[in-house]
């Protein structure tokens, strides 16, 4: 079972429909037991980091997410689901994340001359071309995806950076380590390229 985690934030139906379009059945779940029973986990999200972490903790979902990752289950984080993997966010104060990766979530610089939030289509530059992440199978370098965010992740470990994007600064738009994939953009809103990523993640789940 591929589980999409419902913690009260994010357009879960669009993610579920995206998987359905590529022939992958995904269930929306909201209990610890359902997360632990799943063969793969998807954590989408839109909204404030602090509110999301509070909801995950109150629903008892934070621990099962970490356990699933540690058990080697395929994991896909989308937008806020990427940011939550890191140590802390500096959105409206400093707030602890899941701590899967060391690093911070920071706001785009105010003096960049660009509008915040970063909203619309932008390209990704794939960093690990020789050892390409499985979910980027068939995705060309500089492919375009749809973004909506005001904050970005700054990993301490550069080896997990799978792709970057330019928006005033060059920032990390995808991370990958072993069974964990997470993207700042929205594959479910990114038409053909986004659906390729969802299909590739489904193929990775089947092989795991």
Indicate which residues carry an active-site annotation.
Answer: 79, 186, 188
Strand pairing of 118-123 and 40-43?
A: unpaired
Q: Within a 13 Å sphere around the CA of 139, how many CA atoms are in the beta-carbon half?
A: 32
Question: Collapsing DSSP states into helix, strand and coil, what is residue 89?
Answer: strand
SS3 labels along 146-163:
EEEECEEEEECCHHHEEE
Q: Within a 13 Å sphere around the CA of 11, how many CA atoms are in the beta-carbon half?
A: 10
Q: What's the length of the chain?
A: 208
């Amino acid at each position: 079972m591929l589980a999409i985690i419902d913690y009260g934030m994010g357009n879960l139906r669009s993610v579920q429909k995206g998987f359905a379009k590529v022939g992958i059945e995904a269930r929306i779940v909201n209990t610890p037991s359902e997360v632990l029973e799943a063969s793969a986990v998807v954590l989408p999200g839109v909204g404030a980091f602090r509110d999301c972490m509070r909801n995950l903790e109150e629903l008892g979902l934070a621990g099962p997410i970490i356990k699933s990752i540690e058990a080697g289950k395929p994991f896909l984080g989308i937008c806020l689901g990427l940011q939550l993997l890191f140590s802390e966010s500096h959105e409206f104060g400093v707030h602890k994340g899941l701590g899967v990766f060391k690093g911070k979530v920071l706001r785009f610089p105010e003096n960049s001359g660009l509008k915040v939030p970063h909203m619309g289509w932008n390209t990704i530059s794939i960093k690990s071309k020789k050892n390409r992440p499985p979910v980027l199978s068939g995705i060309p370098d500089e492919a375009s995806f749809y973004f909506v965010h005001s904050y970005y992740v700054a990993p301490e470990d550069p080896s997990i950076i799978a792709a970057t994007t330019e928006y005033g600064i060059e920032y990390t738009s995808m991370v990958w380590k072993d069974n964990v994939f997470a993207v700042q953009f929205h594959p479910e809103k990114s038409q053909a390229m986004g659906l390729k990523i969802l299909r590739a993640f489904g193929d990775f789940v089947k092989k795991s």
